[in-house]
Amino acid sequence: MAARNTPTERQKRLGIEVRKIRTSAGMSATYAAGLLGVDSGKISNMEFGQRTITPERLRTLACNCHCTDEKYVEALIAMAQPGEKGWWERYRGSLPHGLLDIAELEAHASRMRIGTTVHVPGLLQTSDHALAVFREVMPPLPEDEVGLRLALRAKRQQVLLGTNPPGYVAVVHEAALRMQFGGRLVARGQLQHLLDASDREKVTVRVIPFERGSFPGAGQNIFYAEGPVPQLDTVQIDNSHGPDFLHAEGQLAKYRAQLDRQEDAALPPDESRAFIREIARQL
């Protein structure tokens, strides 16, 4: 198979884990190439996510590198399995690849934790709220791209509506609840949508009121996606240049601690729902 020019974030992550297995065992790329029966250059391509590694070769590498964590190895093999393309691929070539990487990350997450200060989490936004946000992007987006982003957002939200949705915990600051994107009526509809979403069994919405003061990660949106094993967790951070994806052990620990502290500062779920209702009443 030819090398990929633009691997997805998930493909790059698999390559990073393959390299981690090899280097942790002190195995050279040349030795790995001989072990797997490929050219040495293909090992580099595999580790950069530019070329597939078959499940059989992945298992061979893990065995010879004495990687004995069977759950971790099986999770990597699942990532390496050939399969049908995800629904987000229909937007490739029309929308930035970072947006599609987020959709793929959500689709494979076993649990999601969100911390937001100014924006309502994307998976909990109404279409009117999302439209108002997209129309503030600089430089302005053409209307056809706004439409594509709305369609992608709506499709992404289906991950919380399936027969076996992942757990979803959103910690939302009061500032985000009081932002009137699209005006008063749109804001009121957005708050009601949050209340409706929090009624779902696996969705939890918690609010940090202004009166709680400072907390770690203020001003930054954090998306923590738990993988099938802890080693495959991922943090996604929004930036003006596009999303960043983090997965170094120290980074994961930092953002887990930030989200833990944010949950400590937040109201319990029932009190959060009452808080949201009161803000909606004031609109």
Amino acid at 247: H
Question: Which two tokens mark 20?
Answer: 């981690």
Q: Which fold has domain 9-80?
A: 434 Repressor (Amino-terminal Domain) (1.10.260)
Specify the pTM. 0.95
Query: For every one of its 283 residues, what pLDDT tens digit does the chain have, with 9 covering 90 and above?
Result: 445 678 999 999 999 999 999 999 999 999 999 999 999 889 999 999 999 999 999 999 999 999 999 999 999 999 999 878 899 999 999 999 999 999 999 999 999 999 999 999 999 999 999 999 999 999 999 999 999 999 999 999 999 998 899 999 999 999 999 999 999 999 999 999 999 999 999 999 999 999 999 988 888 899 999 999 999 999 999 987 889 999 999 999 999 999 999 999 999 999 999 999 999 999 9
Question: Which two tokens mark 46?
Answer: 């595999």
- Nearest one of 258, 270, 262, 259 to 204, comparing CA atoms: 270
Distances (CA, A) of 97 to 91, 107, 205: 9, 15, 29
Characterize the bridge pairing of strands 111-116 and 222-226. Answer: antiparallel
Alpha helices, H only, 157-226: 174-178, 184-197
Unique residue bearing structure tokens 């069977």: 70
One of 1.10.3470, 3.30.1490, 1.10.1060, 3.30.870 is the CATH number of 94-282, namely: 3.30.870
- Extents of the domains making up the chain: 9-80, 94-282
